[in-house]
Structure 1
Amino acid sequence: MSSSENLLTAPIGPVLKKMTKQVLFGMMMLMSFNLVDTYFIGLLGTDSLAAISFTFPVTFTIISLSIGLGIGTSAVIAKARGANLLEQAKDDGLGALILSFVLVAALAFCMYSFTDEIFTLLGAKADLLPLIHEYMDIWYIGAVFLMSPMVGNSILRASGDAKTPSIIMAVSGLINAILDPLLIFGLGPFPELGMQGAAISSVIAWGVGFFVVIYVLAVKRKLIWIRWIPFTQFVAVSRRILKIGLPAAGANMLTPIAMAVLTAMIAVHGNAAVAGFGVGTRLESIASMVVLALSMTLPPFISQNFGAGQWDRVEQAYKSVIKFVLLWQLAVYLLLAAVAGYIAMAFGKNDPEVMNVIKLFIWTLPLSYGFQGIIILSNSSLNALHKPMKALLLSVIRLFVFYVPFAYLGSVYFGLIGLFIGALIGNVFTALIAYRWFLKALPQSVVVEAKV
Structure 2
Amino acid sequence: MSTNPLLTASMAPLLKRLTWPVMGGMLTLMSFNLVDTFFISLLGTQQLAAISFTFPVTFTLISLAIGLSIGTSAIIAKALGAGQTDTARADSLAALWLSAILVSILALLGYLLLEPLFFLLGATPEIFAYIERYMLIWLAGSILLVTPMVGNAILRAAGDTKIPSLVMAGSGVINAILDPILIFGIGPIPAMGISGAAIATVISWLAGFVFILYWLSVKRGLLTAWILPWGLFGQICRKILHIGLPAAGANMLTPVAMAILTAIMASYGPEAVAAFGVGARIESIASLVVLALSMTLPPVISQNFGASRFDRVKEAYQLCCRFVMFWQAGTYLILALLAYPIAAMFTDNADVASYLRWFIWLMPLAYGLQGIIILTNSSFNALHLPAKAVVLSVIRLFVCYVPLAWLGGVVFGVVGIFIGCILANLLTAAVAYYWFNRVQQRYLL
User: Which of 368-377 and 225-234 deviates more?
Assistant: 225-234
Distance 2:163 2:103 in 1: 24
Give matches, 1:5-20, under 5 Å: 5-20=4-19
Distance 1:92 1:437 in 2: 30
How many pairs are equivalent? Answer: 445
Using the TM superposition, give the Cα deviation of residue 444 of structure 1 relative to its aligned residue in structure 2, in angstroms: 4.1
Letter in 2 for 1:390: K
Letter in 1 for 2:409: S
Map of 2:416 onto structure 1: 418
Q: Which of 393, 397, 400 is the equivalent residue of 2:398?
A: 400
Using the TM superposition, give the Cα deviation of residue 223 of structure 1 relative to its aligned residue in structure 2, in angstroms: 1.5
Distance 1:31 1:441 in 2: 34
Letter in 1 for 2:129: P
Give matches, 1:135-284, under 5 Å: 135-284=134-283
Using the TM superposition, give the Cα deviation of residue 443 of structure 1 relative to its aligned residue in structure 2, in angstroms: 4.3
Give matches, 1:127-138, under 5 Å: 127-138=126-137
Distance 1:15 1:224 in 2: 27
Letter in 2 for 1:286: I
Give matches, 1:38-437, under 5 Å: 38-349=37-348, 351-437=349-435
Distance 2:291 2:441 in 1: 26
Contact 1:64–1:252 at 8 Å: present in 2 too?
yes
Letter in 2 for 1:54: F
Using the TM superposition, give the Cα deviation of residue 219 of structure 1 relative to its aligned residue in structure 2, in angstroms: 1.1
Distance 2:376 2:213 in 1: 30
CA offset digits 1:383-434 (Å, max 9, x no partner): 0000000000000000000011000100011101111000110000000010
Distance 1:210 1:445, change over 3 A: closer
Identity rate, percent? 58
Letter in 2 for 1:357: Y
CA offset digits 1:290-337 (Å, max 9, x no partner): 000000000000000000000001101110110010000010001100
- Secondary structure of 2:142's aligned partner: helix
Distance 2:291 2:140 in 1: 26
CA offset digits 1:183-225 (Å, max 9, x no partner): 0000233211001100000000001100100111111101223
Map of 1:450 onto structure 2: none
- Secondary structure of 2:397's aligned partner: helix
Letter in 1 for 2:420: G
- Secondary structure of 2:130's aligned partner: helix
Distance 1:421 1:129 in 2: 30
Distance 2:98 2:431 in 1: 33
Distance 1:171 1:188 in 2: 25
- Secondary structure of 2:186's aligned partner: coil
Map of 2:436 onto structure 1: 438
Letter in 1 for 2:308: G
CA offset digits 1:220-278 (Å, max 9, x no partner): 10122323001111100100000000000000000000000000000011111100110
Distance 1:232 1:426 in 2: 45
Distance 2:213 2:444 in 1: 40
Contact 1:182–1:188 at 8 Å: present in 2 too?
no
- Secondary structure of 1:68's aligned partner: helix
Using the TM superposition, give the Cα deviation of residue 381 of structure 1 relative to its aligned residue in structure 2, in angstroms: 0.4
Q: Which runs of 5+ in 1 are unaligned?
A: 448-452
- Secondary structure of 1:442's aligned partner: helix
Distance 2:226 2:212 in 1: 16
- Give the RMSD, CA atoms, in angstroms: 1.2
Distance 1:326 1:188 in 2: 49
Distance 2:241 2:257 in 1: 23
Distance 1:169 1:127 in 2: 34
- Secondary structure of 1:23's aligned partner: helix
CA offset digits 1:79-134 (Å, max 9, x no partner): 00000011000010000000000000000000111101000011101111110011
Tell me the TM-score normalized by structure 2: 0.99
Letter in 1 for 2:434: R
Using the TM superposition, give the Cα deviation of residue 160 of structure 1 relative to its aligned residue in structure 2, in angstroms: 0.3
Q: Which runs of 5+ in 2 are unaligned?
A: none
Distance 1:102 1:140 in 2: 14
